[in-house]
Each structure stands twice: as C-alpha cells, then as structure tokens.
Amino acid sequence: MKSINKSIISLLLFFAVIAGGCTESFLDRPSQSQISSNNFYQTTSDLRLATASLYGGAPWMQWHNSALLPLGDILSGNAYFAWFGDFVQLYTRTITAQNSVVASGWTGLYNVVAQCNTVINAIQEQASSSISATDKNAAIAEAKFIRAVAYYHLAVMWGAVPIIEDNRKLIQNPLLNRNIIADVYKFIIADLTYAAQNLPTTDTSGRVTTWSAQGMLAKVYLTAAGLNQTGGIRNQAYLDNAKKYAGNVCKNSGLSLLPDYYNLFRAQYNDNQESLFALQWAAGVGYNNGNHWLTYSPSNDINPQKNGAWTPLAPTYDLYLLYSPKDTVRRKASFMLNGDYYPELNAAGGGYKSTGQTMKKHIIGNEKDNNAPTMDIWSSVEHNAILRLADVYLIYAEAVLGNNASTTDADALSYFNKVRTRAGVDPVSTLDLDVIYRERRIELAFEGQYWIDLVRLSYYNPTKALSVLSNQQRVTFKYDKGVATTTPAGEAGGPQPIVTPTIGSFTLPIPASELTSDPKLADAPVPYY
C-alpha cells in the first residue's frame, strides 16, 4: 500500500495538524514548526486543535475534490460530463483499474483514515494525565466518527477493504489483505457507537455531536441490514437499530430542518441546524488545501477572479424527469435549466442567467458574493454537508418500512413529509421503497448520495437494483421555453453505448497502482475479528 502510506512518516511527526486547526475557529491554522509529539496534547485545547484538523483541508482534499461527486452522482446516473474520459467511464460503466477518479477516491479516503488513526493513537498514548477522561474520550470520539465516515464510503464503494488502526505498523509491514465486508461494517459500527456514547449533545458550530454519530449509525445499520441477505429481506435486528438511532435524532435532538431548502447550499448558511457533519473549508488556503467544487461551475462570469469553470456537470434526463411541476425549489437549487435566473450569483454584475443545463448545488458565486476577498477557485467557502438531518428523516422512514411492502406508520410519514413540505410539494399518505428512493434521489441530488442508495439496495435486492440502473435514461437534454428534448446521437451527452449492469457493477475495481504496491489486495478477503 505504498501510495496510501507515502505521507505517513510526515504525519507521524506532525500528528495530523497540517490541514489547519482551530482555536476558536476551524479556519485558524497553527504553525507547523510548533507542533511535535513532544510538546503537543498537553491541554484540552490541544486536543480540540488536533481534531479540528480532521474536518477539512488536506486530509479530505483528494476524496472530496476528485471523487465524491463523480462516484456519487455520475456513476449513479444523476450527472454527466462528456469531455473527461474517466468521467465517461463512470457514466458508461466501462471503469478500468487505471481510472483516476477511482484511484483518488481510494487514496483520499485512506488519507482521512491515516489522519484519524494518528490523532487517536497520539491522544491515547501521549495526552497529559491532567486532561480529564471526558475530554480525552470526546476527542477520540470525534476522530473515530470521521474515521467511520471514511470507512463507510470505502465499504460502499469497494466492499472488502483493509482495516487499518495504526499506520505506524505499515512502515515495517506495508502489505495487507482486504478484510471481509461484514467485519468492515462491524468496525464502522464500533467506531460510531463509541462516538455516540462519548460525544456531547451540543458543541461549537461545525463540530460533530452525539446526534451526528447516532444519525450516521442509523445510516450504517440500514446499509448493513441488507448485507448477505437474499430474497429482498433485510436483517430485522439491524433495521431495528437503524430505526432506534434515527428515531432518537428525529425525536430527541431538538434539531429541525432549515426552513428554506435553497439556503442549504449557500455559504451564508454554513453549519446550520440541519447540518450533522459538514466539511469545513476556508478561503485562500492554496491549491490542494481547499474546496475545489467551483471548478464544476458553468461560467467564469460567476466564479472568483472569473476563472476555473472547467467541468460543469450536466443533469441527466433521467434525473430531470423525477421533478414534479411543484418541485421547483429543489430543482432550481440542484441544477440550472436554460433561462433560469440566479440573482445571488455575480450579484454586483446583475446576477446570472443560465444558458444551459448544469449542476447548481455548490455553485455559490464569486468572492464578492460571499464576502470572502481571498476566495478563489481552489477555495470555495461552502461547508458542504456529508450528513444532514433530512437524510436522517428519510433513513428513519425507510427503517420503519423495513421488510414491509408499504407502511402508513404515522411517525414515518410525519418525518418523511417534513422533507417534502419544506420543498413545497404535497405530502404522501403511504410509503413504499420506490417512493422513499425517489424522494432521496431528489432531495440529495448532487450530494454524492445516490450511488450509496443503489449499493444499499443491491445488497439484499440485486434484481431491483439492476432494474433501476438498466432502465435509466442516461442521456443529457436540451431545454427551451419549458420543453426538454433529449440530446441527439452524435452530440456530446447524446446516446452512446452503456454496458449492461451486473451485480459486479456495484463494486469498484481496486486501483491498479494499489495492486502493484500490494499484490495481497488481489487475494480473497480475510476476517479481521
């Protein structure tokens, strides 16, 4: 695992604070020369500084900037971009082990794991005895929560993967086997359970709490409930746990949805009450330390320094068809149609009128729009959520549905319909799996979530999951005066050969560079416990 571990030695020296830390803010950055194993972890403030480094910056850069949206939305059939071959591979299901998105995803998530491991081990071994056990456990819980999020994405994308708890051991023995997927989920659940038990109920803005951990735990249990199951039936004990933890967040956290869906994706509403875990990004931090998602912008006119609009993702016709005429708030917040007007983008220049069909989420405008003079295309100041409350509401509804064909459970409908009514669409009176998955796809479009949903479905009902993929209209479209027409063959985004999916389509190939560095990754996975 040479490529995973190429930065481990330096991490051991600086104990994971290279990404930027926090005194009163996540965005304050300490001097690296002042951080070492000999003079750090002496106070609770040191612990908070170390864990703050795990919320954004360099640890998350590779996964976030290069893989999260392509794997979550292009691979799943929500989005398309015709001028980059590795994106086209995702879209057409012709993915090779040399695909750069796949490689960045794998390496990036293991970078996060390595940072978390370093912080956890340093606190356990070196934290001053004067720091209370409560503070130590809370700091470890933050790192375990973030490690669990990284491993959850590894498990969903690649299935059986190596479990690493101490990267120092890799210096002597860098060759690892993959671990069976059931044990990977067991490890994730253990980390999140610890986090749920040791994180506070409230904390400063942007920090995770027990509600974050319980929401994520519900999501993991819901996913793992289908693992190794057949006949469309999920593990009832795991469904019950998903219902318990999601229900606890819904009913006891005191949290609520942000009233305006559109504002969820504006930097002025960073870390709002709906955000359970969001990556913390700063302006002016330089290439590879910030949020690069403004490169998905459709126009330089609305970008910082009028630059960087290189990779505008187009919504697919399949995604477009999901939105009812009433669902305009979520549609306009998620993707632009030709003629849409956005007054907040380049506001000083009179706003922006779209000339095509492109992703809108995460396109937040220029430095003036966001009162961030040092913001550039490499440092969007949006703190994009990896887990938010609406997701947990929908998880709760699906857990209540469980193995039933449908449900009219009052609680499940109540939380499900909170998501819909916030968007201005009519409530429903009955829930089934198709209704829930459709709602999740609309609500969470361009947030890297839909592929996760499809993999979860493939665990216990592969026939249905394959049917969903096989019947998608994976083409782009043109939109003019209220009429959408699919793009003709021969034009970019038009019909092209797409490989028929198989159950193997739900597992990404291990990157070729990793197999070269560690041939044992090609062996059958082994138990971890």
In-domain check, residue 391: yes
Cβ neighbour number for residue 183 with a 10 Å cutoff:
17
**Residue 269 belongs to what domain range?**
209-280+383-460
In-domain check, residue 525: no
Which residues are CB-contacts of 57 (< 8 A; sequence separation ≥ 6)?
A: 18, 19, 20, 280, 281, 282, 285, 289, 290
Per-residue confidence (pLDDT) for residue 172, from 0 to 100: 87
Total domain count for the chain?
1
In-domain check, residue 145: no
CATH number for 433: 1.25.40.390
In-domain check, residue 437: yes
In-domain check, residue 302: no
Give the whole-angstrom CA distance, residue 402 versus residue 460: 12
In-domain check, residue 418: yes
> What are the counts of helices (DSSP H) followed by strands (DSSP E) for the chain?
20, 10
Give the whole-angstrom CA distance, residue 74 versus residue 67: 10
Per-residue confidence (pLDDT) for residue 488, from 0 to 100: 85
Per-residue confidence (pLDDT) for residue 4, from 0 to 100: 40
Low-confidence ranges of the chain (pLDDT < 50): 1-24, 28-34
The structure tokens listed for 145 are 């929560």
Give the whole-angstrom CA distance, residue 48 versus residue 443: 33
Segment 1-25, tens digit of pLDDT: 444 433 333 333 333 333 333 334 5
Give Cα 507 distance to the centre of its chain.
17
In-domain check, residue 170: no
| Alpha-carbon distance values, 45 to 153, 163, 190, 349, 381 (Å) | 30, 30, 26, 44, 25
Give the whole-angstrom CA distance, residue 33 versus residue 14: 9
In-domain check, residue 58: no
